[in-house]
A and B are shown apart, each in its own frame.
Chain A
């Protein structure tokens, strides 16, 4: 079977200077800008006041006591359990004991919760706005340009990815359109940003998306809309049902056996 003749398209060499390089430069510069914008907009990690620290840490303390009860002797554990369950049930650790039993505040009106949401909004906006702008800019000025030819052959499946905006059925998928170059830049500039900004930059939107999907761990145990009083009550119940044993119960026999078996 005769080989298909290689497609040749005569491109204006000016395409390189007026489309390829500008798109790349714009992408890099937006990345840098986004980094500095997010550094500027980053909110200081919120400092908690005395009572909310107490509320959170008392909770953590209870959890620690419940999960590490085995280091204590029976009497010490009982004393701690009595103290903690009593304090949990009377609400001694609550941030504002007067609000016990009332439904939790609406997260939309709680200024603390709004802060967190605003932070997320800002991050999302910092990603979305520049991307939308640049994409419409490219669509308006450079749509339909075929700008480079990849130096290696690729299969037909890549056609839709590489030739977005150019509706030509027969063209070799090695040709690349301007809008596809833009997408390639979005995903491929990570190492460039690492070089310019250091490895913990905020320019990389992929990392940000990954982070947003990850679990929201951290000190924010009482998220908006969670009633601490109820959590304390649950914890008191958990503590009450612990069946105590201790690692010290027959430690000396264990030790002797372990040493003899060596």
Chain B
């Protein structure tokens, strides 16, 4: 069976999710529905593995994405058979299925009330708390979603996933400093995650438009540098790096501003900035060239990101030739 069913499916491209869910009937037929506990049968049948249940869970998610509710129900049924109704993770999956099959907002409200009730009985049910936050966000009740994530994080401040979601929510509302704070918490828990470094850099870059530009642009620059230091050929990192250096170079007024606190990072010298800009341009051009030439080691970039990088380079060279 494909090993990719063992990976969490949330970030898969739609085509892969579709392929997975099309496998659903054969998986459901070939895999055992339940594991017997009797000795005699266990000698002859396959033994229970953790992978089996991971496959069911991921298949459930993929099927929900593609609208194959029938198979999703079957997967959930097998999980419930094995782990019981009261397993926290199974409860969250059940809720997810209900959310996905809810026809209208009234049904979603019912699911939400169910979550509230579960949480009232057992406030430490983390999977359900996360589902509740996600549901509130999906229903457009952003501030309630923020509150529910905050209370979850008050109980469990080591949950990187929840911090990242919170950062995203704040960012969507335009609350930059809160978003940056939450994203920094993610970094504390996952210090070497280059995508989180780059994401934080993007947040600083966005925040620099509102206020405090020199300081925030400098930190954005450093975040992007760190992310490409951790991961060579990281497209988002180089893209952000180029954007930031361009802004820092073009706006001479920023450079004139005084340093307020001694502990803050100074804006790098313009020679360094130019070098960085050059490096980022070269790297982006290389990535685009090799990716579109179809070299095997250079695939896997997001199409949209590649074309955005191409546009950035084009506009840059146009501005220069003018």
Contacts and interface: CB of A to CB of B under 8 A. Distances in A.
Interface of A: 32, 47-50, 53-54, 57-58, 60-61, 64-65, 68-76, 80, 195-199, 247-249, 251-256, 258-259
B187 interface: yes
Contacts of A69: 188
Among B43, B47, B225, B279: residue with most chain A CB under 10 A = B225
Contacts of B219: 73, 248
Interface of B: 39, 42-43, 47-48, 122-124, 154-159, 181, 184, 187-189, 191, 197, 219, 221-223, 225-226, 228-229, 263-265, 268, 272, 275-276, 279
A255 B157 contact: no
17 contacts: A32-B39, A50-B123, A54-B154, A69-B188, A71-B197, A72-B187, A72-B188, A73-B264, A76-B181, A197-B39, A198-B42, A198-B48, A199-B47, A248-B222, A248-B223, A256-B275, A259-B279
Contact of B191 (A48, A70, A74, A254): A70
Nearest to B196: A71
Contact of A251 (B156, B158, B225): B225
B265 A53 contact: no
A64 B189 contact: yes
B155 A252 contact: no
Contacts of B265: 73, 248-249
A258 B158 contact: no
A27 to B, nearest CB: 16
Given A74-B264, A196-B39, A49 B124 contact: yes
B158 A60 contact: yes
Nearest to B40: A196
A68 B188 contact: yes
Among B157, B221, B265: residue with most chain A CB under 10 A = B157
Nearest to A54: B155
B279 A255 contact: yes
A68 B187 contact: yes
A57 B223 contact: no
Given A68-B187, A247-B226, 20 more contacts: A53-B155, A54-B154, A64-B189, A65-B188, A70-B191, A71-B184, A71-B188, A72-B188, A74-B264, A196-B43, A197-B42, A198-B42, A198-B48, A199-B47, A248-B222, A249-B265, A251-B226, A252-B225, A253-B272, A256-B279
B224 to A, nearest CB: 9
Contacts of B263: 74-75
B84 to A, nearest CB: 11
A247 B268 CA distance: 15
Contacts of A47: 122, 124
B124 A48 contact: yes
Contacts of A32: 39
Contacts of B184: 71-72, 76
B191 A256 contact: no
Given A70-B191, A73-B265, A75-B263, A53 B229 contact: no
A131 B122 CA distance: 43
A48 B264 CA distance: 42
A252 B279 CA distance: 11
B226 A53 contact: no
A37 to B, nearest CB: 13
A252 B222 contact: yes
Contacts of A198: 42, 47-48
Nearest to B181: A76
A61 B223 contact: no
A80 B187 CA distance: 13
Contacts of A251: 222, 225-226, 229
Contacts of B189: 64, 68
Contacts of A61: 157-158
Contact of B272 (A57, A64, A256, A259): A256
